[in-house]
Structure formats: C-alpha cells, structure tokens
C-alpha cells in the first residue's frame, strides 16, 4: 500500500471516528470493560496457578509403620512409592529425629524441663516414618489410598490440600471468565460493526464515486480498517493503564483479606511478570476485535454500495 493511501486511510478513519462519536465511544467503552474484566481474571488465574505450583512444591504425606514392620517392608514401601509419577522424593525420619524435631519446635524454651521429665527415653519410639513429597495435588487422594493398602503401613497422615482447593477455584474462575468474555466480545464486535456500518451509510455517495473512478477495494476499505484498529487500540490501552496502577492495591487488599488461609511466605506474582504477558495479549485482543468487527461489516455491507 502506498504512503499516500495510508495517509488517506488514517485521515478518513479519524474523521469517521469524530463523525460517529457516540458509537465510537460506546465501542471503546465496551472493549475497555471487556479487557478490564479480562485483566482482573488474568490476575486471579495467574496468581492462583502460581500459588498452586508453590504449594505443590511443598506438598507431602507422612507414612507411619506398623509395630511389626520389618526393614524389608519399609524398603518395599519406599520403592513402590517412588514408582508413582506424582512422587518426587521419599525422606526417612527416625524416631530420634522426630523427637528432636518436636523438642525444637514445641519445647525450645523448656528443653531442660523436658530432659528432666523424659531423660533418655523417647516417647516417640517406634514412630519412625517416611515423608513422601508429591508435585500434583490432584493425585494426593489416590496416593494416600494406594499407600494405605501396602503391607507395613499403619497410618498415612496428610493435610487437606490448599493446592486442591486452589485448583477448584481456578477452574470456576476460568469458566466464569470465559463465559463473560464471550458475551463482552460479542457486544464489542456488534458495536464496532454498527459504528463502521454507520460510517458506510454516511459515506455511501463518496464510496460510489470512488468506485466509479476505479478505486480499489483496499483503498475504499482502508479508512474503516484504521477506524477499527484505533477503536481496538484505545479500548485495550485504557484498561491496561488502570490495571497497572491498580494491581499493587489489589494485591495489598487481597493479602489483607485472605492472608490467614495462605501458607507462610506465600506471595503474589510480581507486576512486571504479569504485564510482560498481559500487555501484548490485551493489545492483540483489542486490535483483533477492532479489525474483526470492521471486516465483518465490510464483508457483508460494502458490496451493496455501488
């Protein structure tokens, strides 16, 4: 496309936007709402996925042995556990290590008193165990059931997985986001189509004259494509700016509300990591909506103007 054609398309596209202010603003506003919600859902889904991975990296179940369990039985439990795909490692904790850990965690300030009461006796004798680490929270229940069926296993301790809850929450959020996004995308495309259609009607005489003197379809469609791109770009850049300045406040607010259910040290994804993906994604979706809405109208209506 020649420079003169591009210049003409840009000028006419901007003029068309000014002529159709109401429809143009409605189109931009709808895309803003669409991509703002998309940004919020993206925040949620990205952070939930991050928390799931962080939680899964520390997820484990503890296996205690029966009193008559032999070393061969214990070795067999370890070997069979390591054959499971979700198991990353198996760590052995002796009875002495378990008792020392309890003293450090719960009686660190009263060690002398504890020593006087128990002396050299270990109240956790015969409570050696395996700590089995896994990397997939959704497999925890099946692993526990499997371990309970092994010879030499007395009990399997495990906490209800936060990662499992986050997986479920992420699924719900993704479904809701998908439905709302589809609805808003449809409304955005419809409003852009109306805006472009109105521009075609207003410029119908001009278009007829251009076609009579031999103007190409590309030359005629150029201004409308530019119009759609501008609408889509503006509709994408506005929510990005709002979300960029709002993200830290959203994170602070969320931490205040749900910190008590998060594992110690858990945090949210950094804004730089969020917007490294969200910015090109939102701009691509916004401009894509603008181009698609414009093309849809041009394909159906422009041929009728002759």
Cα gap 48→299, rounded to integer Å: 41
Name the pLDDT band for 161 (thresholds 50, 70, 90): low
Indicate the DSSP class of residue 20.
T
pTM of the model: 0.63
- The confidence score (pLDDT) of residue 47 equals 82
Does position 69 have pLDDT exceeding 80, yes or no? yes
Q: What is the mean pLDDT of residues 25-43?
A: 83
Largest CA distance in the chain: 106
Domains located in the chain, CATH noted: 3-55+164-304 (no CATH), 60-160 (3.30.70.3040)
Stronger pLDDT, 175 or 101, i.e. the higher one: 175
Token digits of residue 293: 């809405």
Q: What is the mean pLDDT of residues 214-228?
A: 73
Does position 63 have pLDDT exceeding 80, yes or no? yes
Stronger pLDDT, 89 or 221, i.e. the higher one: 89
- The confidence score (pLDDT) of residue 122 equals 61
Whether the Cβ atoms of residue 107 and residue 114 lie closer than 8 Å to each other: yes
- The confidence score (pLDDT) of residue 289 equals 83
Does position 242 have pLDDT exceeding 90, yes or no? yes
Q: What is the mean pLDDT of residues 139-164?
A: 83
Does position 140 have pLDDT exceeding 80, yes or no? yes
pLDDT digits (tens, 9 = 90+) for 181-209: 778 777 777 777 776 677 666 666 666 66
Name the pLDDT band for 123 (thresholds 50, 70, 90): low
Q: What is the mean pLDDT of residues 99-122?
A: 61
Mean pLDDT of the chain: 77
- The confidence score (pLDDT) of residue 50 equals 81
For 78-90, b where at least 16 C-beta lie within 10 A, e where not — what string? beebeebebbbeb
Say what percent of the chain tops pLDDT 70: 69
- The confidence score (pLDDT) of residue 212 equals 67
Query: Could you give the C-alpha distances from 124 to 70, 71, 96, 97, 111, in angstroms and in order?
Result: 18, 18, 8, 10, 16
Name the pLDDT band for 275 (thresholds 50, 70, 90): very high
- The confidence score (pLDDT) of residue 117 equals 55
Helix (H) or strand (E) holding 133: strand 129-134
Stronger pLDDT, 12 or 127, i.e. the higher one: 127
Cα gap 37→31, rounded to integer Å: 10
- The confidence score (pLDDT) of residue 141 equals 84
């Amino acid at each position: 496309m020649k420079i003169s054609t591009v210049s003409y398309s840009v000028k006419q596209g901007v003029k068309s936007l000014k002529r159709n202010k109401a429809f143009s603003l409605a189109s931009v506003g709808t895309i803003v709402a669409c991509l703002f919600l998309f940004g919020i859902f993206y925040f949620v889904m990205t952070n939930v996925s991050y928390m799931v991975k962080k939680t899964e990296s520390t997820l484990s179940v503890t296996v205690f042995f029966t009193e008559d369990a032999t070393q061969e039985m214990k070795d067999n439990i370890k070997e069979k556990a390591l054959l499971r795909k979700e198991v990353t490692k198996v760590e052995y904790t002796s009875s002495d290590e378990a008792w020392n850990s309890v003293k450090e965690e719960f009686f660190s300030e009263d060690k002398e008193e504890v020593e006087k009461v128990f002396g050299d006796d270990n109240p956790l004798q015969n409570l050696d165990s395996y700590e089995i680490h896994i990397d997939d929270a959704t497999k925890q229940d099946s692993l526990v059931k499997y371990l309970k069926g092994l010879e030499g296993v007395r009990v399997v301790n495990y906490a209800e997985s936060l990662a499992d809850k986050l997986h479920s929450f992420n699924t719900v959020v993704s479904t809701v986001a998908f439905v709302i996004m589809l609805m808003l995308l449809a409304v955005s495309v419809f409003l852009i189509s109306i805006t472009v259609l109105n521009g075609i009607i207003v410029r119908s005489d001009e278009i007829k004259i251009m076609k009579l003197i031999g103007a190409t379809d590309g030359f005629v469609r150029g201004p409308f494509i530019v119009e759609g791109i501008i609408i889509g770009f503006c509709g994408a850049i506005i929510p990005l700016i709002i979300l960029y300045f709002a993200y830290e406040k959203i994170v602070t607010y969320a931490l205040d509300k749900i910190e008590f259910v998060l594992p110690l040290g858990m945090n949210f994804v950094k804004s730089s990591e969020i917007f490294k993906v969200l910015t090109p994604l939102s701009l691509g979706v916004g401009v894509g909506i603008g181009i698609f809405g414009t093309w849809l109208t041009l394909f159906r209506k422009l041929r009728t103007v002759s």
